[in-house]
Amino acid sequence: MALQIPFKRCIFHCLRINTLTGINSLRYKNNFHDRMLTMEEDSLDEFTTQLLQKKIEKWSARKTVPKISVDIKQVDDPTHNISDLGIDKINNLFHEAIEYNDNSQILELIEQCISIKVCPSTSNILYTLTVCSQSGNIISIRNIEKLCRQQCPEVLAMNSNFRHFVAEAIWVKGNTNEALILFREVYKENTFLRRKIRLMLKNLIVGVVANRSEVILHNTMKFAEELAKEYKDFYPLACIWQTCFLSEWFTDQCLALDLLNKYNELFKAVVHRIPYVVAVSLHNHQAEVVYRLLEILLKFEMKSQYVGVLLALLDYQIHQKNIRRCVEIVRWSEQNDIELLPIHHQKYLKLLLSYKDDILDIKNKKPIKPPRLKTHFKF
């Protein structure tokens, strides 16, 4: 079964990145990469695809046009015209701006490309569209669409006329109903773009819950439920669950629990979100969130995941030197036949010994006597 994954190893490696220091001795390190890809597959796949495409184009440009040296600051000069440059040099300017995360430079470059009717590489076009959509820049998206319609229609056709970028920009501007309609249309007709839409929704959902937009959250959840029922795609619902579960508002936490009660198949998607939830919570020293997660895992009899979360919590409490919580976790583990890893036994015993040494030091210390005050009274 998908739920019976070797969860404990993954959660410890995830926590090592954020807060904990003793996890690097765990076994199964060779499987960590695969589990992390499963846990954040959409984000990593999207990032890897764009990164490889940009690097390939960059290497190709350097190979065909050696020793290209174009200062990105040239474009800041209004008298400079990129029409004097070849397509490889223009793409290099985009690469430089992207590497420096200079969005204003990227927008200026695309505006000049539009004016001279030159299409940069596909990866540069898509990156620029992402910058525009996340900032709600609908006008630039439309202008890029016109450019591609004239110069590279195949890119436009492959990406459904960039309607998903328009949808994200419209959402940012506040028109979520129209945005959801566009997302639904593109998701239905273009399977190639479903991963990108899921990633967009993941980022947008965080903002919806953070801004306490109940109406928008309701509409978004309705759309996510449609994807789950029609396409068996539970990823958007899992993102809603994760964001609501991590919310400090009780109503959001109740909504996360209701989703688990309503959709049995949601467990498979939620399992991959658990390591992230635990890592973020412990990194922010919100152990109560992890205890709440343990209650849910117990309720739905997810023992394999429960063990991993419990051991991660024990490691955190050892790191915090919270002896009382550590004793509670160890006793509960013994009562429920949960085996601790050798590394946890060593850390726990070390903590107990240091705790006893501190007590002995306090007992052995001689009490401090206050100095005797000599007073001389004159009458």
Question: pLDDT tens for residues 313-366?
Answer: 999 999 999 989 998 999 888 887 888 888 888 888 888 888 765 554 444 444
| Domain residue ranges in the chain | 1-26+272-361, 42-158
Distance CA 283, CA 17 (A): 10
Q: 75: which residues sit within 8 A by CB, 6+ positions away?
A: 82, 93, 105, 108, 109, 112
pLDDT value for 24: 37
Max mean pLDDT range (75-79, 168-172, 211-215): 168-172
Mutual angle of helices 163-173 and 138-151, in 10-degree steps: 170
What is the Cβ-side half-sphere exposure of residue 353, based on CA atoms within 13 angstroms?
6
Q: Is residue 184 over pLDDT 80?
A: yes
The DSSP code for 85 is S
Distance CA 358, CA 274 (A): 37
Question: pLDDT tens for residues 11-69?
Answer: 444 444 444 333 333 333 334 334 433 444 454 455 555 554 555 455 445 444 443 44
The total number of residues shown for the chain amounts to: 379
Q: Is residue 127 over pLDDT 50?
A: yes
Q: Is residue 75 over pLDDT 80?
A: no
CA-based Rg of the chain, rounded to a whole angstrom? 28
State the DSSP H helix or E strand holding residue 335, giving kind and residue range, or none if neither: helix 323-335
Question: pLDDT tens for residues 236-249?
Answer: 999 999 999 999 99
Record the pTM. 0.71
